[in-house]
Amino acid sequence: MTQPDGITLSGVSKTFTGRGKVVEALRDVTLSCPAGSFTSIIGPSGCGKSTVMRIALGLETANSGAVRIAGEAPLDAAKDGVTGVAFQDAALLPWRSVKRNVEVPLEVLGRKPARERDQVQAMIELVGLSGYENSLPGELSGGMRQRVAIARALVTHPQVLFMDEPFGALDQILRRQMNVELQRIWADTGSTALLVTHGIDEAVFLSDRVVVMHADPGRIVDIVDVPFDRPRDPSLFSDLVFHEVCDNIAEVLHGG
């Protein structure tokens, strides 16, 4: 089941202990995302979605189980620039321009942004922000800030892209526009994507498969394949079969 170029979690468990409380954040989580696929994780607050993400990024260590990111251990993958990451609220540096924010991962990896000027510009163009290179985050709309965060996540050409609620702060209309944009960007880059979201329709629109988790203990209860061809048109959001798939996932999500 190992996918050398994708994301593989095998039997991953994680327990947090603190202030006399033991939380079984993840129990025996097994997930395989083939190279170039798009997977979403959905589940109630506290079911361990962010913990999966943090373990896959090497920010947290599992108590047991194995994790491979494009064939590497999570920390090695991060150090080699294999992984890109975009979080909720964009987390941009407010004093740096759009261009200088997009350059951050290159600096972290010890690369010279000046030498990769074309790459930085290409990413800014990819997310539709040409002309805003020198703007500060405070001068941009919420959707534009999220686009900067996506450009920043992609600038190292990551094979694997992790996104934790990247559009959580956006209103419904903007969120759908960003979903369409993200589909295009992901298709252009060919990366393996793992998205954590609370939005069932967002998950179904974007994904090849939706992983449904429950809490206490955090675990996978179902993995639902999404049957729609690509590229997906925004009209899919009002398609009957689309709503049936969403309803099925909602049932699993809210079921016992």
Ligand X SMILES: Nc1ncnc2c1ncn2[C@@H]1O[C@H](COP(=O)(O)OP(=O)(O)OP(=O)(O)O)[C@@H](O)[C@H]1O
**Biggest CA-to-CA distance, the chain:** 54
Task: Report residue 150 as tokens.
Answer: 């996506």
Q: Rounded to the nearest 10 degrees, what angle do helices 142-154 and 172-189 cross at?
A: 20
Least distance in angstroms from the C-beta of 197 to ligand X: 9
40 is a contact residue toward ligand X (CB under 6 A): no
Task: Report residue 38 as tokens.
Answer: 């798009």
Binding positions for ligand X, 218-237, rule CB under 6 A? 218
Distance CA 72, CA 143 (A): 33
Least distance in angstroms from the C-beta of 211 to ligand X: 12
Number of residues that bind ligand X (CB under 6 A): 13
Q: Is 169 helix (H, G, I), strand (E, B) or coil?
A: coil
94 is a contact residue toward ligand X (CB under 6 A): no
220 half-sphere exposure, CB direction, 13 A CA radius: 19
The only residue of 48, 74, 166, 199 in contact with ligand X, by rule CB under 6 A: 48
Q: Are 42 and 203 in contact (CB under 8 A)?
A: yes
Least distance in angstroms from the C-beta of 116 to ligand X: 33
The only residue of 23, 136, 169, 236 in contact with ligand X, by rule CB under 6 A: 23
Q: Is 128 helix (H, G, I), strand (E, B) or coil?
A: coil
Least distance in angstroms from the C-beta of 199 to ligand X: 12
The only residue of 8, 51, 101, 191 in contact with ligand X, by rule CB under 6 A: 51
16 is a contact residue toward ligand X (CB under 6 A): yes
Distance CA 101, CA 57 (A): 20
Distance CA 179, CA 185 (A): 10
The only residue of 40, 50, 119, 189 in contact with ligand X, by rule CB under 6 A: 50
Which range, of 38-46, 104-112, 177-185, 230-238, touches ligand X by CB under 6 A? 38-46
25 is a contact residue toward ligand X (CB under 6 A): yes
Which residues form the interface with ligand X (CB under 6 A)?
16, 18, 23, 25, 43, 45-51, 218
